[in-house]
A and B are shown apart, each in its own frame.
Chain A
Amino acid sequence: MTMRSALKKNTVVFLPALAGLAMMGLVGCSASGSAGAQEAEGGYPSKPVTFVVPFAAGGPSTVTALAFASCLEAGLGQTFVVENQPGGSGGLAMQDVSSAKPDGYTLTLGTNGPLVMNPMINELNYSIKDFTSVGVMAQMPTVLVVGEDSPYESADDFFAAADKNPGKLSVAVPGATTSAAIELQRLYEEYDIEVIAVPAVGNAEMTTSLLGGHVDALFITDHQDVQSRIDKGSFVPLAVSSPERADWYPDVPTLAELGFTELVNAVSVFGVMGPKGMPDPIVSTLESELKTCSEDATVIDQIGEMFVPAEFSGAAALDEVFADMQRLYEPILGQE
């Protein structure tokens, strides 16, 4: 807490003096002010670390990255600069990071779309094999929600209606290259239930389209905004996409329980990744610090208690998550 108040003072003193470009310096200043004395083994990190987020600033990915960056910063004694590099559904950032030096000074937030699906759909110079996994920061299931006035009161109602009127119910998804979109495609291919997936950009646009009654349902990445709407009753959750029920929606069935046993993959995983060939000592330094941070109360509070897995998954586990995803989606996306 003393550290935070010191920081606050710093910011207050510096802010009035700056304008325009001078702000770059300030970020450095107040950030290094928080640096703990603790130096990691082998001298890593001995200079600021760039943490690339493959999306525009402001979304859940940035919030997660910033929360962890400030914790890693305190633990490892070096600045972690969060840099947003949007464009090409995350493809640009991934391409850059995959070709960076694997020295631990360029890291990125690896997640389903940019890392696994985008290179399958588009010709990109990278694939999942060009990265080194470090560990999981957060994971969010996808929820099927309808509006409060919806005629569908349960998942059974919804899927029965979809079965009766194939290709009539519209469901907004967060984009074409997302797990959510592909799970709906699998719903059709493997279970013969056809709904129209309407790709939108981000949770904000999806929320608008459901509140305005422009689509019948959302298959949306669970996040604080979705939860607050569910709490207030304007969204009604019908089903979750995770393998098991979510603790925070104990009454909401999983898709698997509803008979779609294979549809358990629309879970967004936010992992820390680096370029291929990062030395083991660096990976394990980062991995153990990441574990500490995933138990940090401030971090958990900022990201949301339910999204930081209680049991930390390290490098090996993360590797497996993305490899599984790759195996699963290759036959579906490879055909295009």
Chain B
Amino acid sequence: MDAFNNLGLGFSVAFEPMNLLFVFVGVVIGTAIGVLPGLGPTATIALLLPITYTMDATSAVIMLAGIYYGSMYGGTITSVLLRIPGEAASVVTTFDGYQMTKQGRAGPALGISAIGSFIGGTVAIIGLTFLAPLLAQVAVAVGPASYVAIMVLGLFLVTSLGTGSTMKSLCMAAIGLLLSTVGQDPITGTARFTFGIPSLLGGFDFVAIAMGLFGVGQLLHSLERTEKAQAITTKIKNIWPSRKDFRDSSGAIARGSLLGFVIGVLPGGGGVISSLASYALEKRRAKDPSRFGKGAIEGVAGPETANNASSTSAFIPLLILGIPSNVVLAMLYGALLLQGITPGPSLIEDRPDIFWGVIASMYIGNVMLVILNIPLIGIFIQMLRVRTGILATFALMVVMVGVYSINNNPFDMWVVLIFGVFGWIMIKTGFDPGPLVLAFILGPILERSFRQSMLISDGSFGIFVTDPISATIFGALAVSLTYSFISRRRRVKAAQTLSRVSVDAK
């Protein structure tokens, strides 16, 4: 078969000693920056970009890709241990991951994430090898109107997955949407809600808000408690997931791989949507959905798997169509341009060594990551034994450096601190920052696509019906809303009759 021949060529490239070295370097750097909260692949690759054009093109892309998917592995660690999500997709992991840590099950949480990530990543690479050209068409078919539908679906998922009351989740999501409107209007370019502060012209940075609400808020909260109370909550029960853990999460990993692979192809919100969708799916399928948000291992396994699968399939539009679907991939694109190579439909014919070499290197990189990460889990969870005061101070420092590195703007550091205080108040009052942060990510995509759709259709809502993807999603949403409304009314009626019967019986 052709794909096997090509893959053979790919492996012959990837197994060159220099390329092997660069896969390794890439995944090590990726893991390291993933673990350090705030430092993300974006800032790292931007720093390394000037170096890459002195390197061989294939090696450069292999290394940068390694940093990217390596950071996806690493990002889980702080989400689980400290409730600090390093990137958008890990926000969902904090829901159950941090609860597991509190129950002394940080080891199994990290173990299942590493395994899920490996499986999700590998499934996606296999998909990338055989289905890439087919799926690339999906990425193009998704226009503004379809995005509106996908984002609305995303918002529905966001509000349904909160652990507390739906009302509180809705409030938080609304605040998140409002915060996302700060900055320049996406269509006219005029300033909105900036109060004359120049730094607000760029809007709030997602990382700054997420780090503040989750990370700093949690750090402040944990500093309130006494050392004694700390010691008890962070007792570590076991390091490796039990047989039951594996049984519980195997389905979630399988479904997460598929979901992540398909959704990852979408430009923009792919990563978050895939982990959100996986979490919502697992919660819906669960016999006892109330376990979610209280340390359900499927709630960690599914989203983490989906997240890694999607970060791999995000390479499809880049390598096949020459369309980078997020900032990190845009930098890979830039790295290739600097080498005089324009990624696009012709890449696969003009430079099969790069195309297949990078794909083959991902198989190798994923194996390296799982070998690298599993022994590290034991070391990472020792972090929890460090005294809270010291750990919190150090984490705060890294967060501040990381946040500064994103936009080279000191303003973002203030944003972290201010949102940190809000985050602490939210913990105190029982509000969940998850819906806020997720709505903040979806908001701008929703607004821009909606306004683009309205421009294209000349203000007619018909565009949402004529666009097949949007019509399907809105249709499904309407059906499921009606269904849940009817079934609830029926249940209420049944309960009423029941109580009437019992009253009569008296």
Contact = CB atoms under 8 A, between A and B. Distances in A.
Nearest to A27: B47
Contact of A225 (B29, B342, B458): B342
A87 B411 CA distance: 12
Interface of B: 18, 21-22, 24-25, 28-29, 32-33, 36, 39, 42, 44-51, 53-55, 63, 139-145, 183-191, 196, 198-199, 201-203, 267, 317, 321-325, 327, 330-334, 337-338, 340, 342, 344-346, 401, 407-409, 448, 452, 455-456, 458
B32 to A, nearest CB: 4
A19 B29 contact: yes
B458 A196 contact: yes
A82 B338 CA distance: 14
Contacts of A207: 321-323
B407 A86 contact: yes
Given A11-B55, A88-B183, A211-B140, A204 B324 contact: yes
Contacts of B408: 83-85
By CB atoms of chain A within 10 A, which of B45, B55, B203 has the most?
A: B55
A205 interface: yes
Contact of A215 (B21, B186, B456): B456
Contacts of B456: 170, 196, 198, 214-215
Contacts of B317: 208
Contacts of B47: 23-24, 27
Interface string A189-212: 000000011111110110111011
A20 B189 contact: no
Which of A58, A124, A202, A227 gathers the greatest number of chain B CB atoms within 10 Å? A58
B246 to A, nearest CB: 31
A212 B407 contact: no
B184 A89 contact: yes
Interface in A209-228: 209, 211-215, 224-225, 227-228
A18 B24 CA distance: 12
A327 interface: no
A121 to B, nearest CB: 5
21 contacts: A15-B22, A15-B63, A19-B28, A21-B401, A23-B44, A57-B42, A59-B330, A87-B409, A89-B184, A91-B201, A92-B199, A118-B189, A204-B325, A207-B321, A208-B321, A211-B140, A212-B140, A214-B143, A225-B322, A228-B322, A232-B346
Interface stretch (A65-73, A149-157, A246-254): A65-73
Given A57-B330, A214-B144, A66 B50 contact: yes
Contacts of B458: 167-168, 196
A32 interface: no
Interface string A1-43: 0001001100110011011110110110011000000000000
B140 A82 contact: no
CB-CB nearest 3 A-B residue pairs = A87-B202, A88-B201, A214-B143
A214 B45 CA distance: 32
B345 A30 contact: no
A23 B331 contact: no
A228 B346 contact: yes
B330 A56 contact: yes
Given A7-B54, A118-B189, A215-B456, A88 B140 contact: no
A11 B36 contact: no
Interface of A: 4, 7-8, 11-12, 15-16, 18-21, 23-24, 26-27, 30-31, 56-60, 62-63, 66-67, 69-70, 82-89, 91-92, 95, 118, 121-125, 167-168, 170, 175-177, 196-202, 204-205, 207-209, 211-215, 224-225, 227-229, 232, 234, 301-302, 336
A3 to B, nearest CB: 9
Contacts of B322: 207, 225, 228-229
B277 to A, nearest CB: 21
A229 B344 contact: yes
Contacts of A67: 338
B189 A177 contact: yes
B318 to A, nearest CB: 9
A175 B189 contact: yes
Chain A CB within 10 Å, residue with most, of B18, B141, B143, B344: B344
- Which of B39, B139, B183, B330 is packed against the most chain A CB atoms within 10 Å? B330
A179 to B, nearest CB: 13
A22 B407 CA distance: 19
B201 A208 contact: no
Nearest to A203: B323
A18 B32 CA distance: 10
A123 B200 CA distance: 12
Contacts of A83: 408
Contact of A66 (B18, B321, B338, B409): B338
B189 A170 contact: no
A175 to B, nearest CB: 7
Nearest to A91: B201
Contacts of A211: 140, 321
Contacts of A175: 189
B338 to A, nearest CB: 6
B144 A63 contact: no
A198 B186 CA distance: 10
Nearest to A229: B344
Contact of A26 (B51, B63, B199, B327): B51
A30 B54 contact: yes
B25 A15 contact: yes
A89 B189 contact: yes
B189 A11 contact: no
Given A57-B330, A208-B140, 11 more contacts: A19-B29, A20-B29, A27-B47, A57-B327, A59-B334, A92-B407, A170-B455, A196-B455, A196-B458, A209-B144, A228-B346
Nearest to B408: A85
Nearest to A176: B189
A30 B48 CA distance: 11
Contacts of B407: 85-87, 92
Contacts of B338: 63, 66-67, 302
Contacts of B340: 301-302
A114 to B, nearest CB: 11
A200 B32 CA distance: 34
A200 B452 contact: yes
A243 to B, nearest CB: 26
Nearest to B144: A214
A88 B55 contact: no
A56 B408 CA distance: 11
B32 A20 contact: yes
Contact of B327 (A4, A58, A63): A58
Contacts of B332: 58
A186 to B, nearest CB: 16
Contacts of B188: 121, 176
Given A215-B456, A225-B344, A4 B323 contact: no
